[in-house]
Amino acid sequence: MDKKKRIKPEVKKNLSPEQKKALRSGSLGRAEKKAAPSAKHEPIITSEEDISKAKEISPYLTSGSSDISVPLSAESIRAFQVYAAMLRKWNEKMNLTNIVDDQGIAIRHFIDSLTLVSHIEEEEKKKGRRNLTLIDVGTGAGFPGIPLKVTMPELKITLLDSLKKRIGFLDAVCEQLQLTGITTVHSRAEDGAKNKLYREKFDIATARAVASLPTLCEYCLPYVKIGGIFLAMKGHAEEEIEQASKAIVTLGGTIEDVHEFQLPGTDMKRTILLIRKIRPTPASYPRSQGKADKEPIM
């Protein structure tokens, strides 16, 4: 006869009321015991000194936002300073980004994210409303989703990422900035797109990931409603657009616009590809087990 396992006091203390009740009745199984939360890790604190140092991003933010015609309020600039400080602080403990200098954070993260604003505003006009739903697939450290929320608070945003540590960072930023109407989801892109809570539920999907365009389309288009758009953020993408033509059609999309430009203050070429969802994505997509990466639709 197996001996009854004992649950450590520090773990028992963190059980939910339902789990404690189940424990007393003897119905708390092994799987639930393993899933019981452990003691919390020491929080990563961002100090006022950290935030003060991050004020150095302000001139780059101001000039960059002017170049892309996205005016920033003093409140928004303060939010970006706090975000930058948290990004640097958390980056000491986990791999969020290799871009940590003032200009890099301001331009290559924040302003790059805000280049989507004009496209979203145009979509708001077409839809006749401002509370559009947007999912940022593979958001990483929150780009472009959080900068968009800071400047367009009316958007209802979902940040999806496969790494739980990053979700912890995103939750901390959203709480610190007191952002509402923004949700984090811990999931692989292909798994989330099979979930009826998210599949074809969004007016806009976007991704700034490094995956190829055919792969990004397979991960992102399933999230988009019929009539919605996928805004793919790429570098120089002429060749990729040709390679992705079959994937776009297969997944129910059509290319509506290709916007090529130079990122302000840099020599970096950028492309925003606007793909309109005109048909449902076949139920077999996205494929599981990384097939979109290994065997892209071409």
The per-residue pLDDT for range 44-72, each reduced to its tens digit, is 888 989 999 999 999 999 999 999 999 99
User: Residue 5 — very low, low, confident or very high, per pLDDT cuts 50/70/90?
Assistant: very low
Question: What number of other Cβ atoms are within 10 A of residue 44's Cβ?
Answer: 15
Pairing of strands 253-262, 269-277: antiparallel
Q: For the residues 283-291, what does the mean pLDDT come to?
A: 93
Q: How far apart are CA 171 and CA 162, in angstroms?
A: 14
Alpha-carbon torsion, ordered 122, 123, 128, 134, to 10 deg: -130
With 50 as the cut, is the pLDDT of residue 37 above it? no
Distance of CA 187 to the CA centre of its chain: 11
With 50 as the cut, is the pLDDT of residue 13 above it? no
Q: What is the pLDDT of residue 42?
A: 59
pTM greater than 0.75: yes
- Of the chain, the percentage scoring pLDDT greater than 70 comes to 86
With 60 as the cut, is the pLDDT of residue 22 above it? no
> Which residues face 277 on adjacent strands?
253
Q: For the residues 101-121, what does the mean pLDDT come to?
A: 98
| Fold that domain 128-294 belongs to in CATH | Rossmann fold (3.40.50)
Burial 81-103 (b: 16+ CB within 10 A, else e): bbbbbbbbbbbeeeebbeeeebb
